Amino acid sequence: MRAALQAGSLVALSGCSGPLSTLDPSGPAAASIATMWWVMLIGSAVLFLLVVGIFIQVFRRPGWGSSVSPTRWVVLGGLVLPAIVLLPLLAYGLVTGERLLPLPGSAPPQRVEAVAAQWNWTFRYPDHGGVETRNMLLLPAGTPVDMVVTSKDVIHAFWVPRFAGKVDAVPGRVNRLRIQADQPGRYEGTCDEFCGLGHAGMRFGVIVYPQGAFPAALEQARAAPEARK
């Protein structure tokens, strides 16, 4: 039994890492989302254990709780008990969600335009002379960036799980998502909205450069024909 539990734990924990894992954050927004996930998991586990505890008590002690009227059971077990756990979780989720919004600040962040099409991504950098890359997003480390997302054909979704949440790419509409990468390195992003037969392959790479090296990387992308393919 102990070996089985250890093996099961290893399998479960292996899903918490990887290039598309939301539980392996590399940015402040993703870290907030991962923390919220763990808080929600703990809250749901507490509620589950409370319900199971009452269930076990009824089986172990027949007649336990019979002095409580059915109406009171419904009110206490169906309203009061969930509210004790769910209301704090709701408040926490609302506060966290508000902090993730791309609200205006003292200095506007850099902007990158992401244009989706079946089944590829085009990234434009209007703050850097309109450099354009295909299926490869270039970002500076430690700097907030506003992704301005739209689509040429059907609904897609822009998502770099280790940086932030996702946002839909809708034809004729512009959506905005603020992301930030903590460390230089290579990451992965994906379309998270079924968009046709090629949806499974609609991924893109992300390269995060140190702030000082980012302008040079964009100039290199401007000069490299393969960056525009």
Same structural domain, 83 and 57: yes
Where helices occur in the chain by DSSP H, the ranges are: 2-14, 28-60, 70-75, 81-100, 214-223
- What pLDDT score was predicted for residue 16? 60
Cα–chain center distance at 136:
19
Q: Is residue 91 part of a domain?
A: yes
- What pLDDT score was predicted for residue 174? 94
Same structural domain, 43 and 122: no
- Whether omega before 119 lies within 30 degrees of 0, making that bond cis, reads yes
Q: Is residue 33 part of a domain?
A: yes
Same structural domain, 62 and 123: no
Residues 150-179 as b or e (16 or more Cβ within 10 Å = b):
bbeebebbbbbbbbbbbbbbbeeeebebbb
- What pLDDT score was predicted for residue 10? 45
Q: Are 197 and 102 in contact (CB under 8 A)?
A: no
Q: Is residue 105 part of a domain?
A: no
Residue range(s) defining the domain that contains residue 38: 2-100
CA 105 – CA 178 distance, rounded (Å): 12
- What pLDDT score was predicted for residue 1? 52
Same structural domain, 16 and 87: yes
Same structural domain, 121 and 222: yes
Q: Is residue 51 part of a domain?
A: yes
Same structural domain, 114 and 221: yes
Mean per-residue pLDDT pooled into runs of 10, the chain (229 residues): 49 60 85 88 86 83 75 80 82 81 69 92 88 92 92 93 91 92 92 89 93 87 61
Same structural domain, 135 and 212: yes
Report phi then psi at 53, rounded to 5.
Answer: -60, -45
Q: Are 173 and 94 in contact (CB under 8 A)?
A: no
Domain count, the chain: 2
The pTM score is 0.76
What crossing angle do the helices spanning 28-60 and 81-100 adopt, rounded to 10°?
Answer: 170
Q: Which residues make Cβ contacts (< 8 Å) with residue 26, sequence separation at least 6? A: 162, 163, 181, 182, 183, 185, 187
- What pLDDT score was predicted for residue 137? 94
Same structural domain, 75 and 147: no
